[in-house]
Amino acid sequence: MNKQVIKLDKLTINKIAAGEVIERPASVVKELVENSIDAQSNKITINIQEGGKKLVEVIDNGIGMVSDDAKMSINRYTTSKIKDADDLFSIHSLGFRGEALASIVSVAQVEIITKTEETELGTHLIIEGGEVVSDKPTSAPKGTRISVKNLFFNVPVRRKFLKTIPTEVNHITEYVTKLALAYPNISFTLIHDSKNILTAPKGDLISQITAIFGENIAKACLPISKKENEYVVTGFITKPEFSRKSKDYLYIFVNGRAVANKTMSDAILRGYGTSIPQTRYPIIFLYFNLPPDEVDVNVHPTKKEIRFSSEAKVYSLIESAVRESLESSGLKIFETVIETRHKPTTLTSVETKKPEFTKRETSSPLSSRDKASYTIIRSKEQRIDKFLPMKDTAVDTEIKSIGEKRSIRVLGIIKDTYIIAETQEGLFLCDQHAAHEKINYEKYVNQIKKNSVSVQQLLAPVSINLKPSEFEMIESIKENLRLFGFEIEIFGKNEILIRSIPSVMGVSIEFNTAKDIIDIFKENISEIKEKVELEDLEVVKDIISIFACRRSIKAGDRITLERAELILKELLGLAEPFTCPHGRPTIIILNEEYIEELFKRDYR
Ligand SMILES: Nc1ncnc2c1ncn2[C@@H]1O[C@H](COP(=O)(O)OP(=O)(O)OP(=O)(O)O)[C@@H](O)[C@H]1O
Ligand SMILES: [Mg+2]
Cα–Cα distance measured from residue 196 to residue 412, given in angstroms and rounded to the nearest whole number: 61
For residues 9 and 286, the model is more confident at 286
pLDDT at 393 > cutoff 70:
no
Cα–Cα distance measured from residue 426 to residue 479, given in angstroms and rounded to the nearest whole number: 48
Do the domain assignments include residue 345?
no
For residues 202 and 542, the model is more confident at 202
Do the domain assignments include residue 339?
no
For residues 345 and 138, the model is more confident at 138
Q: What is the mean pLDDT of residues 39-52?
A: 96
Do the domain assignments include residue 377?
yes
pLDDT at 317 > cutoff 80:
yes
Cα–Cα distance measured from residue 435 to residue 419, given in angstroms and rounded to the nearest whole number: 10
Beta-strand pair 409-414/284-289 = unpaired
Same domain assignment for residues 360 and 382: yes
Q: Is 107 in the pocket of ligand 1 (CB under 6 A)?
A: no
For residues 17 and 413, the model is more confident at 413
Are 517 and 376 in contact by the 8 Å Cβ rule? The answer is no
pLDDT, residue 565, reads 92
Q: Is 98 in the pocket of ligand 1 (CB under 6 A)?
A: yes
pLDDT, residue 337, reads 58
pLDDT in tens, 72-86: 899 887 888 777 777
Q: What is the mean pLDDT of residues 441-465?
A: 88
Bridge-partner residues for 119, per DSSP? none
Q: Is 63 in the pocket of ligand 1 (CB under 6 A)?
A: yes
Same domain assignment for residues 429 and 479: no
The closest of 349, 555, 550 to 441, measured between CA atoms, is 550
Are 110 and 55 in contact by the 8 Å Cβ rule? The answer is no
H helix intervals, 108-235: 156-161, 165-182, 205-213, 215-220
Chosen domain end from 202, 227, 254: 202
Do the domain assignments include residue 537?
yes
CA angle 404, 410, 414 (to 5 degrees): 135
Same domain assignment for residues 108 and 226: no
Do the domain assignments include residue 445?
no
Distance 273 CA to ligand 1 centre (A): 42
Return the amino acid letter for 186: I
pLDDT, residue 360, reads 29
Same domain assignment for residues 46 and 170: yes
pLDDT, residue 406, reads 65
Distances (CA, A) of 287 to 181, 222, 323: 10, 14, 16
Which of 104-108, 255-259, 388-392 is predicted least confidently?
388-392
pLDDT, residue 593, reads 80
Which of 62-66, 379-383, 472-476 is predicted least confidently?
379-383
Are 48 and 469 in contact by the 8 Å Cβ rule? The answer is no
**Residue to probe by mutation, ligand 1, list 36, 101, 179, most atoms within 8 Å of CB:** 101
pLDDT at 400 > cutoff 70:
no
pLDDT, residue 302, reads 66
Chosen domain end from 178, 202, 226: 202
Beta-strand pair 250-254/284-289 = parallel
pLDDT in tens, 260-274: 888 999 999 999 988
Same domain assignment for residues 406 and 531: no
pLDDT in tens, 489-545: 988 778 899 999 998 888 888 888 888 888 888 888 777 777 666 667 776 777 788
Residue 466: phi, psi to the nearest 5?
-120, 155
Q: What is residue 595's three-state secondary structure?
A: helix
Which of 166-170, 392-396, 460-464 is predicted least confidently?
392-396
Q: Is 143 in the pocket of ligand 1 (CB under 6 A)?
A: no
- Given pLDDT bands bounded at 50, 70 and 90, which one contains residue 356? very low
Return the amino acid letter for 351: E
From first CA to last CA, the distance across the chain in angstroms is: 81
Question: Closest ligand to 78 CA?
Answer: 1
Q: Is 271 in the pocket of ligand 1 (CB under 6 A)?
A: no
Nearest CA to ligand 1 atom 7: 35
Cα–Cα distance measured from residue 296 to residue 85, given in angstroms and rounded to the nearest whole number: 13
Same domain assignment for residues 22 and 167: yes
Which of 14-18, 135-139, 382-386, 506-510 is predicted least confidently?
382-386
Question: Closest ligand to 104 CA?
Answer: 1
Same domain assignment for residues 310 and 164: no
pLDDT, residue 291, reads 92
Distance 538 CA to ligand 1 centre (A): 46
- Given pLDDT bands bounded at 50, 70 and 90, which one contains residue 57? very high
- Tell me the CATH number at 374: 3.30.1540.20
pLDDT at 27 > cutoff 60:
yes
The answer for residues whose C-beta is within 8 angstroms of residue 167's C-beta and 6 or more apart is 51, 473, 525, 526
pLDDT, residue 387, reads 39
Which of 56-70, 338-352, 470-484, 588-602 is predicted least confidently?
338-352
Q: Is 144 in the pocket of ligand 1 (CB under 6 A)?
A: yes
Return the amino acid letter for 537: L
pLDDT at 560 > cutoff 60:
yes
The closest-lying atom of ligand 1 relative to the alpha carbon of residue 144 is 1
**525 sits in which H/E element:** helix 525-526
pLDDT at 334 > cutoff 90:
no
The answer for residues whose C-beta is within 8 angstroms of residue 104's C-beta and 6 or more apart is 18, 22, 28, 31, 32, 110, 148
Same domain assignment for residues 172 and 35: yes
The closest of 484, 469, 485 to 540, measured between CA atoms, is 484
Cα–Cα distance measured from residue 213 to residue 218, given in angstroms and rounded to the nearest whole number: 7
Do the domain assignments include residue 106?
yes
Same domain assignment for residues 173 and 34: yes
Number of domains in the chain: 4
pLDDT at 297 > cutoff 80:
no
Are 225 and 233 in contact by the 8 Å Cβ rule? The answer is yes
Beta-strand pair 109-115/495-502 = unpaired
Cα–Cα distance measured from residue 190 to residue 89, given in angstroms and rounded to the nearest whole number: 33
Return the amino acid letter for 499: R
Do the domain assignments include residue 337?
no
Burial label for 133, CB within 10 Å (0-12, 13-18, 19+), is exposed
Same domain assignment for residues 286 and 431: no
- Tell me the CATH number at 542: 3.30.1370.100
Are 243 and 277 in contact by the 8 Å Cβ rule? The answer is yes
Same domain assignment for residues 30 and 142: yes
Mean pLDDT computed over every residue of the chain: 82
Cα–Cα distance measured from residue 596 to residue 604, given in angstroms and rounded to the nearest whole number: 10
pLDDT, residue 215, reads 86
H helix intervals, 82-123: 100-107
Q: Which residues crowd ion ligand 2, with CB under 5 Å? A: 35, 95, 100
Q: Is 60 in the pocket of ligand 1 (CB under 6 A)?
A: yes
pLDDT, residue 371, reads 31
Same domain assignment for residues 364 and 497: no
Distance 35 CA to ligand 1 centre (A): 5
Q: What is residue 493's three-state secondary structure?
A: coil
pLDDT, residue 532, reads 66
pLDDT at 277 > cutoff 90:
no
pLDDT in tens, 216-235: 889 989 999 999 999 999 99
Cα–Cα distance measured from residue 261 to residue 308, given in angstroms and rounded to the nearest whole number: 10
Chosen domain end from 281, 308, 328: 328
The closest-lying atom of ligand 1 relative to the alpha carbon of residue 60 is 1
Are 240 and 282 in contact by the 8 Å Cβ rule? The answer is yes
Q: What secondary structure letter does DSSP report for 7? A: P
- Given pLDDT bands bounded at 50, 70 and 90, which one contains residue 396? very low
Q: What is residue 451's three-state secondary structure?
A: coil
- Tell me the CATH number at 223: 3.30.230.10
Do the domain assignments include residue 349?
no
Q: Is 109 in the pocket of ligand 1 (CB under 6 A)?
A: no
Segments forming the whole domain that contains residue 383: 356-437+556-603
Are 514 and 488 in contact by the 8 Å Cβ rule? The answer is no
Distance 166 CA to ligand 2 centre (A): 26
Q: What is residue 490's three-state secondary structure?
A: strand
Nearest CA to ligand 1 atom 31: 80
pLDDT, residue 364, reads 32
Cβ neighbour number for residue 530 with a 10 Å cutoff: 16
